[in-house]
Structure 1
Amino acid sequence: MSNVLGFITSNGIALSVYVMMAVIFIIGLVQCVVPLYSIRRALRTASSRLEMRTESGAYMYDSPTFLSCKYLDAWWERYIVNLREMRRTNGDCDVLGFINSNTCIQAPTHSQFAELIPGMMTTLGVLGTFIGLVRGLSGLNMQTDDIQILQQSLAKLIEGMNGAFYTSIAGVICAVAFQLIRRLAITRTTDALNAFIMDCQTFVSRPYTQDTKLIQTIYALLIEVRRSNESVQAMLRERKE
């Protein structure tokens, strides 16, 4: 560990490599992993609210902002618009055409950029190693006949090589860690997405028949009756007081 710290503090190039690795790793997490957690949470919450209604009797999913997720709101709004058009002709509109792996995982998480990140960090690690080796070899004095000076040069070379190889190790560790974190986030988000799609196909995408319209109308009337009843009871309580 002391070799690593000594190499970092004495070698500005190695320090720059580590800083660039850290910056790329953090940018990768923010751009390619964090959105997955937001999307997964929105899908899970939406799945539990698909059969809920507003005070007016309409289904909550009829709102364009039902998902409450900046990555998916535009796609859900398009789906609702198409769903309403299809219901006028008693047709069917599949949610899978709007909410899918491309719109929920690939596009919001910059998948092409995410695929480059492990290679970038590994390359930076190898680059740091090569630069460290070159710097170590440049300090090697083979022209002297003094054994002591030669031993000191070899010692510095070996110390530099030991520290230089740590950049490659750091690059590989960062690359593997990023891939594991992203893969885990994708797996969990995919599970939430599949569950949401199945629920939508069951409760939302089904044909909007006359019976369904009648049920929704009756539900809205029951809500109005309940409100009127509550108002009457409140008036009676006021008169008694």
Structure 2
Amino acid sequence: MLVLVSPAKTLDFENPSPTQKYTQPQLLKYSEQLISVCRELTAIDIAKLMKVSDKIAGLNVARFTQWQPNFTLDNAKQAIFAFRGDVYTGLDADSLTANELDKTQSTLRILSGLYGVLKPLDLMQPYRLEMGISLGNAKGKNLYQFWDSRITETLNTELDDDTIVVNLASNEYFKSVKPKLLKGNLITPVFKDCKAGKYKVISFYAKKARGMMARFIVQNDIQTRDQLEAFDAVGYRYSAEESTFNTPVFLRAEQS
């Protein structure tokens, strides 16, 4: 089973990681190409492109300037501990055991605008480059055109036709994957919360639920689509009535 998740805007490069183990990203030569493009941008360009404040734009000018590809534990951090945000709150990697952390390395893949695909223990340097932005580059007008089929091809090296691929990434990031070219059986869980008597996807809750499902898969050595139905964290329950094979739906009662 392979699980896909999105990265996060919020980063933590202040606190130490609980492990010294690390690996290197597979697609760094492409990251270097994007960094070269980003170094041509001014703070004003970045503020407009990313729709961020002048302060955040300035921070990212500095990040692009300082980025260099010889990653070590002194100048970089493992991705699973560097990313913070709702998905990673749900995943709670800091509390995983050493064996569970090893399991994430073979099970979890993080889609990234800058790095393409990251394993949890891949080192990364801080950045902000969301997959959906319109960053012109040698391959086209955005990052989807830049990455083209490279992300899918990278994932396919770890898949066969029978592998279950659990898509817990956002639409923005999963658009970087080409489902028709992807090996395996694609499963996209949906998490709905009751609001005013109706079930709907509420982004804040759904992001945390995706992280919790990733944790559930790792901790319980989930291997099949049917085993996913047992997921019941924080009140979610599988709904056979609303689900299809490829889209299992989990419902939760209204939160007080």
Task: State the TM-score, normalized to the length of structure 1.
Answer: 0.22
If you compute each CA radius of gyration, which structure gives the higher value, 1 or 2? Answer: 1
Q: Which has the higher contact order (CA 8 A, sep 6+)?
A: 1
Identify, as 1 or 2, the structure richer in strand: 2
Task: State the TM-score, normalized to the length of structure 2.
Answer: 0.21
